[in-house]
Structure 1
Amino acid sequence: MLADWQYKGLGADADRLEKLGIPVVVVDYNAQTVERHVASTLVFGEITGHQARAREIADLYKTTIENVHKRIAAAGKPKPRVYVEFGNKGPSEYSFTYGKNMWGSMIDLAQGDNIAAPFVQWWGPINPEQVLASNPQVVLIAGTESTKVPGSLLIGEGWQNLEAIKDKRLYGVYQGASRSITDFAAIQYLAKVFYPELFGDIDPEGNYKAFYRKYLSVTPECTFFTGL
């Protein structure tokens, strides 16, 4: 089982594996589109013999994103300006932000206006002055389980003047809740913080944990989404 980028990187080695009788199956959650998420999940169903279960999960993902888009389209509200940063370096240094992939793609799916998109193609740091000039209305800091850098979800100097901070729209999101079928819950959360009046009845973290309870062998116990 390979991701699309891994398969492409193998080149002729993939042919060698197949000649040895080792089937090569490619899935592509990294593309972060509804179509690829659905197709990849159905592939898992085929190779495990659990087609009905895979279809149920794929339909859950598809209908969740469709519901997000339908509500936002019906409201006709302008997209909020959003800045996301991987909070692995603490408040003393700007870390990666995202353009087309990971949280950048998820901001797009949740109908936000990613301020980094014109300046960062995939991922990388953005000029701090550009963050201040773009004045995001929502700030997201993505964190992991790592405790190597104390206070890694704290914000950087100068941000007290940003509209997002003045309005207490600073949020922490779990870095691991991206690029998988479970990122439907993260997209729900982004949509809820972008358009809080439209998604008051949605519990993204509850949905995230419920997915694990229903479809997986472990249930995560922690806080995966939080805000001021």
Structure 2
Amino acid sequence: MKTNLLAILGATLISSATHAQITTIEDVLGRSVELDVPVKRVVLGFYAEDYMAIGSEQAFDHVVGISRDTWQGWRPASWELYTDYRPALKDIPDVGEVEAQTFSIEKVLSLNPDVVLLADWQYKGLGMDVETLEDAGIPIVVIDYNAQTLERHLQSTHIIGELTGQAERANQIANEYEQTVTHIHRKIADAGLPQPRVYVEFGNQGPNEYSFTYGKNMWGAMVSSAGGNNIAAPFVEWWGPINPEQVIASNPEVIFIAGTESGKKSDAMIIGQNIDRTIAKERLEGFTHRSGWSELEAVKNNRVYGIYQGASRTIMDGSMLQFIAKAQYPELFHDLTPEQNYLEFYRRYLPVTPTGTFTVSLQD
């Protein structure tokens, strides 16, 4: 990373004045990045709730820029919940969004951050713009909860802990997550039961149009982690559509439909903040009326479930992994209370607690 002499001298002065310490952080891509920690000026690309949960609410006192669409645009109900509690969030400058190609390097440079914290997919999406930031002496650190692997979840959590000076808090959250995952893995391995065939879909297009499914990341990775045989894995690498005939031919025994608080279509899967359970169940049931689905094992046995899209790709998704495991192996995990555990995480680590429906089944 290129750094000019003034930047080095400035960092030294700041370190002396604030008792920060220079440390080398290895991000999820194996890049070594030197920083004064705890950092004082952060541009945050994604994972806002994770940053606040791990770094504490006070960590947001040092967030000088945010990719607002990844919060307000994608999860408006969550944004409203937090901004009602902390209106100052609205005053954090917006740097644009990588996927929409509105991310502004000029805006980031004008904010003079100590570090830009990006998701793996954002870092890769920026391409050559990464060099522009690094040539200006602005460090970039990459984290990744989208991969839904235990290794990257834990590493990303520890990185946020280092950046915010909350290593002990990060250790606690990481250890709790690891215990959740290893308990599920161990119990499934010990039982030696046959893997159920599983299909998962983001239900944002409603029952009349198949939206995308997942291969080896996000919900697809979670299905596999919880011992399911993801029927999309041979056909979809990361995420994308699958032929409806293939779903029927694969005859899944368990189906998950993910959704958010606001769908693009009136019959889209709707679930999350402020969503009534009855409405979520009605939307979920609508998917069972698709052509050919009445003969699927999952539909015949009422093993169709709704899950909250906003509870994936986050350190909080341990409760969703519990829900998936319980749906796939009800005899093994009947004692788990995933939705309660999801809300309990908020009560322990975040300043707000949402209300609504975050998991639902046809049996509710």
Q: TM-score, structure 2 length as denominator?
A: 0.60
Give identity over the alignment, percent: 62
Which 4+ residue blocks in structure 1 deviate beyond 4 angstroms?
Answer: none
- C-alpha separation between the residues in 1 aligned to 2:235 and 2:136? 45
Correspondent of 2:170 among 42, 50, 54:
54
- Whether the aligned pair in 1 keeps the contact of 2:204 and 2:263 (CA below 8 Å) is no
Letter in structure 2 aligned against 1:135: N
SS at match of 2:357: coil
Q: In structure 2, how many angstroms separate the alpha carbons of the residues matched to 1:174 and 1:149?
A: 17
Query: Contact (CA 8 Å) 1:91, 1:157: kept in 2 or not?
Result: no
User: CA offsets per residue over residues 81-123 of structure 1, 9 Å max, x none?
Assistant: 0011111111111111111121111111111000111111111
- In 2: Cα distance, 1:87 partner to 1:147 partner: 8
1:140 aligns with 2:256: yes
Q: Which amino acid aligns with 2:153?
A: H
Instruction: Give 2:247's aligned residue.
Output: 131
C-alpha root-mean-square deviation of aligned residues, in Å? Answer: 1.4
User: Which residues of 2 match residues 68-79 of structure 1 at below 5 A?
Assistant: 68-79=184-195
* 2:323 paired with 1:189: yes
Structure 1 residues 174-223: Cα deviation after superposition (integer angstroms, max 9, x where no partner): 11111111111111100000000111111111110000111111101111
Partner amino acid, structure 1, of 2:166: H
Decide whether the 8 Å contact of 2:196 with 2:228 is kept in 1: yes
Letter in 2 for 1:101: N
**Deviation sequence 1:98-154 (CA, Å, 0-9, x none):** 111211111111110001111111112211111111110001111111143222232
Q: Partner of 1:30 in structure 2?
A: 146
- Partners in 2 of 1:151 and 1:36 — Cα distance? 35
Give the gaps of 5 or more residues in structure 1.
Answer: none
CA contact (8 A) 2:205 2:264 kept: no
- Matches of 1:123 and 1:47 in 2, distance apart? 31
The range that moved more, 24-33 or 53-62, is 24-33
Counterpart of 2:197 in structure 1 is 81
Q: Greater shift after overlay, 142-151 or 93-102?
A: 142-151
Q: Does the CA-based 8 Å contact 2:253-2:303 persist in structure 1?
A: yes
Q: Compared with structure 1, are the counterparts of its residues 31 and 161 closer, same or farther at alpha carbon in structure 2 (3 Å cutoff)?
A: same
Residue 167 of structure 1 pairs with residue 301 of structure 2:
yes
Q: Which amino acid aligns with 1:22?
A: I
Partners of 1:114 and 1:97 in 2: CA distance: 10
Distance 1:13 1:89 in 2: 33
* Pairing partner for 1:41 from 142, 157, 160: 157
Task: Label 1:26 to 1:189 Cα distance change in 2 as closer, same or farther (>3 A).
Answer: same
- Secondary structure at the counterpart of residue 146 of structure 2: helix
> Max radius of gyration: which structure?
2
**Displacement, 1:11?**
4.5
The aligned counterpart of 1:205 is 339
How far apart are residue 21 of structure 1 and its match?
3.9
Query: Quick one: distance in 2 between partners of 1:122 and 1:5?
Result: 12
TM-score norm. by structure 1 comes to: 0.95
| Matched residue type, 2:172 | E
* Aligned with 1:14 (options 130, 134, 141): 130
Instruction: Determine whether 1:97 maps to 2:213.
Output: yes
SS of the counterpart of 1:29? coil
Amino acid at match of 1:192: K
